[in-house]
A and B are shown apart, each in its own frame.
Chain A
Amino acid sequence: MNNKIFSTTIWIAVALLGATALGGIALSRGESINALWFIAAALCVHAIAYRFYAAWIAARVLVIDPTRATPAERLNNGRDYIPTNSWIVFGHHFAAIAGPGPLVGPTLAAQFGYLPGTLWILIGAVLGGCVQDMVTLFYSTRRNGRSLGQMARDELGAIGGIAALIATLLIMIILIAVLGLVVVNAMKHSPWATSTVAATIPIAMIVGLYMRNIRPGRVLEGSLLGVVLLLLAVAGGGWLDHQPGLRELFDHPGLTLAWAVIAYGFAAAILPVWLLLAPRDYLSTFIKLGTVILLALAIVWLQPSVKMPALTQFIDGSGPIFGGKLFPFVFITIACGAISGFHSLIASGTTPKLLSNERDIRMIGYGGMLLESLVAIMAMIAATVLDPGVFFAINSPAGVVGKEAAAAVAKISSWGFPVTVEQMSLLAQQMGETTLFARTGGAPSLAVGMASIFGSAFGQGMLALWYHFAIMFEAIFILTTLDAGTRVGRFMLQDMLGNIWHPLGRTSWYPSVLLTSGLVVAAWGYFLYIGVIDPNGGVNILWPLFGISNQILAAIALCVATGILVKSGKLKHAWITGLPLTWLVIITSTAAWEKITSPDVRIGFLAAANDLAGKLASGALPPEKAAVAPTLIFNQRLDAVLTLIFVSMLWLIVLDMLRICARHLRGKPVPPLSEAPHHVTQLEEAWQRD
């Protein structure tokens, strides 16, 4: 009894602290606010959601059964099905889901002020993203670790399966293009950043050779060697930046770098995995974990002030970073960190094959996503501790604020965010860069934010080192996603083409490997190329497209889950996935509608295409712009078609799911539940906690 009172008191205290922190964040106007409140609000909201909502879903809705043998136990083959300790699975799952997305999205969404993004990250995660991850993990575990596409086909029918497959391939292409653009913008005319990022390639290969030939399988030794070399590469880049003959070798405009990234992507896709992809992934995982922990410690220790206002005037849709009103675009811009459809591909297929007991599903599915949401909150903090003027100067493309520094600061200051040319030059000099204007894509402003937080924690003298460390940190796992994504895209394409002509489906037949890798690289390379030549920065086009496709993938996962809930006779609980699904359908449909039909040239694809076509026809464009105009016009129209395909697929699968549910409720035949039969677990409790 005493225990119960004690725990109730604790939870009331957590709730009160959370409410105070959230209230403080939401109601603070006009003065700066301590970043620690963001962390406190997030931790309290997460703790309550995990303790009550997630526990309720696990016990009452999914009815998790700890006595039931998991696929890892029943199908244990020592390779992909292996019963594994829950914390180890949590580590693998988190390393797989947390990529660069939760860092970039919140940074871009900070143009609306800190409040909308922060609230969406918290609410979206606890009611949407975490539920999606946990429910998908659960249903895949009950189906021998089947993938989302297979579950869609089994439970809803062929339409759902095909939609999931196409959505996955398209999202992969858009994702790689936009991430490539983020890296290119971070390296543009920066010998230090470019040489450091370039050095990660031979370093990964050295580690690969070490783990393959010198000391096979010694992952920790190899990674330690690699991390030391990476840190040396960051410092070496600073030295190189001051060598007149050398620095020009790494000083390139965006287009050259884009071609380099495309060539790299193709090489990485056809090289053996042990040489580049696998060692790079070990390094990026270690660097990522280390940096996120360091950032969390620095924020807690320093408690920096958030200087961005709660809301900016850009909620009306006139924002410089991307066009579009607060609703629906904040929800599209922040996908990873709130709800990310991509996670459902990890939560089905990979992670379920490692679970030793169903009771771990809450911690791994729901808890893993909570941690990613916390990373997104930290990215939001790093973006909003900057002076808003500086934040907008770094993130606004030249096409919006003007190419000249004086024009850009005048424009940004006129919005009410004062900034001067001197301030920007000093900052660029401190960060070891020639300029920080118009470095769009989110990575540079995040790096400046992180460098200023780390700098005040560990010494201002090393700002430039911290900045380039942060750039390297972002680039290394963006390039891992690029390698891994291209490879997965290749496998999916080979799988599809194999149905047309059998040899194309053989993953080890070299001509097929070259052809399909080339096709995948060409697809994302095209969008990357357009993003670089677009004077409005490309992010304005590509990021919303990525957000829409990622949310649509989430909607597909939630459709599958809702369908299964209804078919298992849990109609009255179907709202746990139905509610986030409805919200995703609303925001993605609205965003897609606006992206296609809006008359505003910064929002509507067709409006922008027509506007540019009109200018081209009337001869109003200067020659260098007229030369690329036809490509840009074509691209805007292509993007409109792509958006239409995405949203049509969404409606197709939602309506199909509703049809299946309606048939089931009226007692008509539907595809049967494909749950694997129940077996009692033989694993001893002591065994798993080794």
Chain B
Amino acid sequence: MAKRLNNLLATVLQWLYVSWRKLWHAIRHLSGDDAYERYLAHHSACHPDTAPLSRNEYFLHLQEQKWSGIKRCC
């Protein structure tokens, strides 16, 4: 009985943990918090022979690019 309860608890905790990871992942993705990590992944996959931008340079570049077009509406 105690073992089954333990298993159930573990499953629930596992589920909560996974859901939270998914949510956190989505929030970071949506806000652009993980943009640099995604850039590094893309860079190492597509241009492995060149050095990637530093975090600071990449962020500056991203902002400049984002705000050079129509990004906000009425």
Contact = CB atoms under 8 A, between A and B. Distances in A.
B72 A480 contact: yes
Contacts of A82: 38, 42
B72 A485 contact: yes
A340 B72 CA distance: 13
A111 interface: no
Interface string A321-341: 000000000000001100010
Contacts of A425: none
B27 A220 contact: yes
Interface string B19-34: 0000001111111110
Contact of B65 (A79, A216, A282, A345): A79
Given A211-B59, A212-B60, A278-B67, A78 B74 contact: no
Contact of B73 (A101, A273, A487): A101
A488 to B, nearest CB: 5
Interface string B58-74: 11101111111111111
Interface stretch (A91-99, A244-252, A306-314, A581-589): A91-99
Contact count band on A: 35 or more
Given A79-B65, A88-B29, A223-B31, A217 B73 contact: no
B26 A278 contact: no
A34 interface: no
Given A87-B26, A88-B26, A278-B67, A216 B72 contact: no
A274 interface: yes
Given A217-B55, A274-B60, A100 B74 contact: yes
B72 A78 contact: no
A487 B29 CA distance: 26
Contacts of A100: 74
Given A88-B26, A220-B27, A340-B74, A78 B60 contact: no
B58 to A, nearest CB: 7
Nearest to B25: A690
A216 B55 contact: yes
A318 interface: no
Main secondary structure, interface of A, reads helix
B25 to A, nearest CB: 8
Most buried by A among B28, B39, B67, B73: B73
A342 B69 contact: no
B56 interface: yes
Main secondary structure, interface of B, reads helix
A427 B42 CA distance: 56
A138 to B, nearest CB: 19
A274 B73 contact: no
Nearest to A478: B74
B73 to A, nearest CB: 5
A91 B33 CA distance: 14
Nearest to A220: B33
B59 A85 contact: no
A88 B26 CA distance: 7
A343 interface: yes
A219 B46 contact: no
A365 interface: no
A488 B69 contact: yes
B74 A481 contact: yes
A362 to B, nearest CB: 20
Contacts of A690: 25
A343 B60 CA distance: 27
A349 to B, nearest CB: 6
Given A85-B29, A216-B56, A217-B55, A484 B43 contact: no
Contacts of B68: 491, 507
B31 to A, nearest CB: 5
A284 to B, nearest CB: 9
Contact of B43 (A78, A97, A343): A78
19 contacts: A78-B46, A79-B62, A96-B71, A96-B73, A99-B72, A218-B33, A223-B31, A274-B59, A281-B71, A282-B31, A336-B74, A340-B74, A345-B70, A346-B73, A349-B70, A480-B72, A485-B72, A550-B74, A690-B25
Interface of B: 25-33, 35-36, 38-39, 42-43, 46, 55-56, 58-60, 62-74
The 4 closest A-B pairs by CB, nearest first: A78-B42, A101-B74, A217-B59, A484-B72
Given A216-B59, A220-B33, A481-B73, 5 more contacts: A78-B43, A216-B55, A340-B73, A350-B69, A491-B69
